[in-house]
Amino acid sequence: MNNQIQQKTILFTIGRAGYPLTRCLTLAKLLASHRILFAAQEKQKVVLQTLDQQGFAPLSYARNADLKKLLTEYEPDVVISDGLDMDIDEGRLLSSLVPITLHFDDFGEGGKVATRVIQSLYHENREQSPSHYILGPSGFVIPEELEPYANSGLGPGPTLPLPHVVVTFAGEDVDNLSYRTLRHLLHLQIPLAITVALHSSYSHSRDDLKLMALGRKQTRIVECDDPIQLISESNLVVCDASYTPYFVAVIGKPCIVIAEDEKEAQHAFPRESNGFIYLGLGRKLKQSHLQNAVMETILHPHRSQRAVKKQLAFKLTANNGNMQLLLEKILKEEAREITR
């Protein structure tokens, strides 16, 4: 009996730049034995430009009607979508035209008609999830550039004379938590080295932050879409509650998590039981809560080490191999169901 999986045509549809794009590029490498295509909406210029720079020739579409034409023309066996919360009509469109549909972190109704939904930004499971949903940290796929830093947090810390705090909030940072966090940190009466990493899509005045940083030595504002190295050089990370905690947990660093919005506030991974200090919604953040969390981390290194060990206990470095096996298994099993 031949157990070899026939080559499939796999189309990745990407809803936004940042980690969803990175995850799809990583998955494409894991599934390189298949024919790989990429597609994104015309408005996702950064996604399309990045894919082009990576040597792919991405397909673009304006509306769902155009996506339907692409699916009809290229006839993919599999669609893997990431960064999209699909409504039921979008989900039905895909599943009516494509034998296997895999959705990553889809919180829309469209996931209900997918073949599988894989949620790494999972919520506390108060209700029974549909059987085709896979919830948990196993859905976090590790980017290639993160691999060299895996578990490095267990080694000797940075040799800076001051504790180094890295502040990084993903994307636009709508409520300007970068500014708010820096202001609170500067009111601490202890010497710190502080780096605030701003994403290229940060939507507020950079000058305001830079002006505030001028008043404190060892404080800097940097432009950085990929804070992996900064995280590895830190003694403490203050970040969003989206994908950044996963990056931290691969490296292993004391981490304070502040949710950028209500959606992030529901994410179950960056909580105390998993080795994080979670402070809730950023717009409700009290200065004293953040300052106490920072002091607790700096003054109690043994407690911080226990937290880091909780993060590293997830063994996220095994995720890519496990994800590759899972996806190949889905391709094989679903293909059998389709042809039966």
- pLDDT tens readout for residues 144-167: 999 999 999 887 666 668 999 999
Local confidence band at 127 (pLDDT 50, 70, 90 cut-offs): confident
| CA–CA dist 252, 245 (Å, integer) | 10
Q: Is the pLDDT of residue 5 over 70?
A: no
Instruction: Give the up-direction half-sphere exposure of residue 142: CA atoms within 13 A in the CB hemisphere.
Output: 25
Structure tokens at 339: 């042809």
Residues 6+ apart with CB under 8 A from 103: 80, 81, 82, 84, 86, 91, 110, 111, 114, 116, 117, 118
pLDDT at 125: 75
Q: Report the C-alpha gap between 143 and 166 in whole angstroms.
A: 20
Q: How far apart are CA 13 and CA 80, in angstroms?
A: 6
Position 161 scores a pLDDT of 82
How is the chain split into domains, by residue range?
A: 9-135, 145-316
In the predicted model, what is the mean pLDDT of the chain? 93
CATH fold of 145-316 reads Rossmann fold (3.40.50)
Instruction: Flag whether pLDDT at 340 surpasses 60.
Output: no
What class is the 9-135 domain?
alpha beta
Q: What 3-state class would DSSP assign to 67? A: helix
Same CATH fold assignment for domains 9-135 and 145-316 = yes
Cα–Cα distance for residue pair 41/67, rounded to 1 Å = 9
Per-residue pLDDT tens digits for 301-329: 999 999 999 999 999 999 999 999 999 99
Position 72 pLDDT exceeds 80: yes
In this prediction the pTM is 0.94
